[in-house]
A and B are shown apart, each in its own frame.
Chain A
Amino acid sequence: MKEIDELISYTGKTGFEPSVLSDSETAHLVIKAHRVLSYRETEGVKMEARESPDGVELLLSIKEGWKIKKPIHLCFGLLHRRGTQRIKLKALLEKGSSAKFIAHCIFPNAEEVTHIMDADIRVGQDAMMMYSETHYHGVSSGAVVKPKAVVKAERNSRYYTEFNLRDGLVGDLELDYQVLAEEESIVELTAKVFGHKRDQIKIKEGITLKGMNARGLIKTRVALEGNAQAEVIGITEGMAEGARGHVDCMEVVKDNATARAIPVVRVTHPKAKVTHEAAIGSIDRKQLETLMAHGLSPEEAVDTIVKGILR
């Protein structure tokens, strides 16, 4: 089997559609371990990749004013049971451009696998970036995954990101995203993770609302069962007139799982406003009973509620 086919054979878990690789109008990049297996640039989309001994350094840019219609697919995989993949990503969306990225991160056989993503992202003035990533770490709980991003959202830009890890085991996850939001920009960070067995989840997301009328939302949804543990830190800082931020964290626990939520709100301008809500608890009894009254078994009811929270 060709290397790329082998990698693609696992991507169903993250919703990847292999046909995008042959679509001449869709930009893509496929990296397995330390090698770039496939990539395509399209008009307005520029990619540069440099392989290193333990990973790949990437430069992605969207040219000024270009609105990329079709999502750009990124696939990062490591199929070995042991190993390290280090991705250093520099992304630039130039002034007035827009693009949606769909990333698939696949470590299906991880027993001792480390994946480190170190991203430096700049969303230019009036630009819009959506970055949706879905992970699959297999069922051995042997992945250590550390996605880290430092993002600058410039004036009147939009930056939306969604991190999903809902299938299989998590292993150890340490997510750290920090965004600086300038004047009139809008930033939304969403993370949805389902932890099982002995999974360890640490999510730290921060938005600094530096510019006037900047808006920020941090939304985190975590479901835990078995002996999984999670700590969620959501930090929003309002530093300018009209800045508005909100931190919304919900964690649902079952069995012996434990969850911790630390919403941090800081306001250093009298006309800024930041709010937060955090809820941790077992599955809501009334929700359960309502679904059971509709004919679902207790197991089906729990499954429906958890899937809804993580949807």
Chain B
Amino acid sequence: MDLLELRDITFRANGKYILNGLSLTVRYNEVHALLGTNGTGKSTLAYLIMGCSGYKPSSGEILFEGKKINELTLYERAKLGICLAWQEPVRFEGISVRDYISVHNKDIDPAPFLELVGLHPELYLDREVDKTLSGGERKRIELASVLALNPKLAILDEPDSGIDMLSTDDIIRVIEMFKKSGSSVLLITHREEIALISDRASQLCGGRIFYSGEPERVAEMFKSRRCLICDGEVCKDERD
């Protein structure tokens, strides 16, 4: 049994198919990279798995540890062990970094998690998770908070994007920590070099998984794709 199984997922918004017959699995303690260009529905897929408001499959099943979770709320899914690190994490006024990282468990020490994402605890623990943080700092804190949760499945939505993005080494260190603690990771990215650190990879194209397999093979296919922005039309014949 896989940890996560998506069966023939379709999602429509404003009369348009964003995901169309998507199937994907994430195994226990696996790092699975999901590669796709902008606009292919990577973040939509993350929101569907997490159960965000307005994101419910038009058809298809989402199974977590063999149990269908389509009807569960976001909170119920979080309780099962699913967590999402948003591509652009939201800011909070009046909540310190210390409180944010330990929001689910006041007894944990947030400092080691900050160190893992390359931030000095003494400089950050008492700062607020607000607009005074740069985009990169906020992303690192989000990753630290997800690490502190020790989820069964961490969905990381483009941790490598942004002006002051995390370096590949930073991401590798974080991913290794997830693996070490027994988590599975769905690593969403559009950078093939990031996908190479995964155990398995999939390429999303035109609302479907175009190919799943060895990261090197998927990265190579993604690199040599013929479309810059994927609309599913260019690859259509190859896929079918």
Partners in one complex: yes
Cβ–Cβ contact B86 & A309, under 8 A? no
Cβ–Cβ contact A292 & B75, under 8 A? yes
Q: A292-B74, A294-B104, A294-B149 are in contact. Are A307 and B79 (CB under 8 A)?
A: no
Does A295 reach chain B (CB closer than 8 Å)? Answer: yes
Q: Considering only CB atoms and an 8 Å cut-off, how many residues of chain A contact the other chain?
A: 23
Q: Which of A284, A291, A309 contacts B94 (CB 8 A)?
A: A309
Does B52 reach chain A (CB closer than 8 Å)? Answer: yes
Cβ–Cβ contact A296 & B103, under 8 A? yes
Residues of A within 8 A of B92 (CB): 287, 305, 308
Residues of B within 8 A of A296 (CB): 75, 103-104
Does A250 reach chain B (CB closer than 8 Å)? Answer: yes
Cβ–Cβ contact B79 & A295, under 8 A? yes
Cβ–Cβ contact B78 & A294, under 8 A? yes
Q: Which of A294, A310, A311 contacts B83 (CB 8 A)?
A: A294
Residues of B within 8 A of A287 (CB): 90, 92
Cβ–Cβ contact B90 & A290, under 8 A? yes
Residues of A within 8 A of B53 (CB): 285, 289
Residues of A within 8 A of B149 (CB): 294-295
Per DSSP, are chain B's interface residues mostly helix, strand or loop, or mixed?
A: loop
Smallest beta-carbon distance A286→chain B, Å: 4
Cβ–Cβ contact B86 & A307, under 8 A? no
Chain B residues 67-105 with CB under 8 Å of chain A are 73-75, 78-79, 82-84, 86, 89-90, 92-95, 103-104
Residue of A nearest to B83 (CB): A293
Cβ–Cβ contact A293 & B90, under 8 A? no
Cβ–Cβ contact A295 & B78, under 8 A? yes
Cβ–Cβ contact B103 & A293, under 8 A? no
Chain B residues 26-72 with CB under 8 Å of chain A are 50, 52-53
Does A9 reach chain B (CB closer than 8 Å)? Answer: no
Does A282 reach chain B (CB closer than 8 Å)? Answer: no
Does A18 reach chain B (CB closer than 8 Å)? Answer: no
Residues of B within 8 A of A297 (CB): 75
Q: Which of A221, A295, A305, A309 contacts B104 (CB 8 A)?
A: A295
Beyond known contacts A286-B86, A293-B74, A294-B149: 9 more, CB 8 A cutoff: A284-B90, A287-B90, A287-B92, A289-B74, A294-B103, A294-B145, A297-B75, A308-B95, A311-B94
Closest 9 CB pairs of A and B: A308-B94, A311-B94, A295-B104, A308-B95, A292-B75, A286-B90, A292-B74, A287-B90, A293-B78
Q: Can you give 26 contacting A-B residue pairs, CB < 8 Å?
A: A284-B90, A286-B86, A286-B90, A289-B52, A289-B53, A290-B90, A292-B75, A293-B50, A294-B145, A294-B149, A295-B78, A295-B103, A295-B104, A295-B149, A296-B75, A296-B103, A296-B104, A304-B95, A305-B92, A307-B94, A308-B92, A308-B93, A308-B94, A309-B94, A310-B94, A311-B95
